[in-house]
Chains A and B, each alone.
Chain A
Amino acid sequence: MDLGVLQVLALLLACQLAGEVVTHAANLPAPGPVLGMVFLLLGLLALRRVPSALERTSRGLLDNLSLLFIPAGVGVIRHLEILRAQWLPILASIVGSTVLAMLVAAGAMLATEALFARGSSANAGGRDR
């Protein structure tokens, strides 16, 4: 049995709905859609494969993921006054902290891996890759 686009959309929305219900009922600090993503992931892990229609429809959605942020982005115009008055601290803060966070997250991950690899190569006497 294969699914169509409509069934896939229904599945994605059902996961989101389940996520919203659980996060509100349990008062969790996670957005409903993110919890829905976890539910779908658990389903896929149980199924051990991605149905081809889900693969196609999700690719269609994710290929245009940037588009979906535009309506919220235009909302910036509601705060032009604050942004204009404090543009320097805001701009420096956004650019500076984005650069730092991108580098620290990636760097800390790679450094930890290197540390683990050194530990395990000392134990096993060789690298596994």
Chain B
Amino acid sequence: MTQGIGAIWVYLATSPLLGLVVTLVAYVAATVFYRRTGGFPLAHPVLLSVALIAALLEFGHIPYARYFEGAQFVHFLLGPATVALAVPLFENAERVRRAAPAIAVGLVCGSVTAALSAVLIARALGATDVVLRSLAPKSVTTPIAMGISEKVGGLPSLTAALVILTGITGAMLFPLLYEATGIADWRARGLGAGTAAHGIGTARALMLSTTAGAFSSLAMGVNAILSAVLVPPMLTLLLGR
């Protein structure tokens, strides 16, 4: 009997099906729990699901690469979903056009603040050089962030992890931070979420307001390009070559 279960486990642990099902089930369970708590920030579904799955992999001695063989099917949909952000953006095209100069100023200021403050805070608290370089692009959407990290001498895969942690942090702070500081404008809230917390911030903004989601998508896209241009020279200035 136990041998039977063991054999099934051995089979499942090597099949991509397990990683895929675990990802979906963890997300559904985390979403239900999040709603039950009335949207408590620390119960954010991405944070809960990641913690749950990470614990499972640790206890089950399943390497991340094996898990990803199944989870990659979910991961792959990020591409078409990013393209689909054009729809809310189109629906808000007029609002974006009217605020274009203000958006540009907000984006440049936000983008520089994200990278500069990340490096300065971590340096003041004694982070190592490679961690500083990996932290600098952490507000940028993953593929570009990894590219920047590689270029400036960081660890791209560490950057990918920091990007996700940043996104979750931004999503947890949205819209609490804006309520606390009296910023009520959903366009500005969206712009901040996309600049600081890329796609995960955008996902959170979209849940609460299509307008915020549109501004967040725009900010995510432009911030990726701005950071690719600005972060490398900024790091050379701050940390040397």
A residues near B, CB below 8 A?
A: 9, 12-13, 15-16, 19, 29-34, 36-41, 43-45, 50, 54-55, 57-59, 61-79, 82-83, 86, 88-90, 92-113, 116
* Bound-complex Cα distance A37 to B90 (A): 10
Closest to B124 in A: A89
Q: Which secondary structure dominates where chain B touches chain A?
A: helix
Number of B residues near A (Cβ < 8 Å) is: 115
Q: Is the CB of B84 within 8 A of A101?
A: no
When the two chains form the complex, which single residue of A76, A100, A101 contacts B165, counting CB atoms closer than 8 Å? A76
- Total inter-chain residue pairs, C-beta < 8 Å: 326
Contacts of A57 in B (CB 8 A): 84
* Bound-complex Cα distance A100 to B53 (A): 30
B residues near A, CB below 8 A?
A: 19, 23-24, 26-27, 45-46, 49-50, 53-54, 57-58, 64, 67-68, 71-72, 74-75, 77-91, 93, 99, 101-103, 105-107, 109-111, 113-115, 117-119, 121-128, 131, 135, 138-139, 141-144, 147, 155, 157-158, 160-162, 164-171, 173-174, 177-178, 181, 183, 185, 187-189, 191-193, 195-197, 199-200, 202-204, 206-207, 213, 217, 219-221, 224-225, 228-229
Q: Is the CB of B75 within 8 A of A68?
A: yes
Q: Is the CB of B131 within 8 A of A76?
A: no
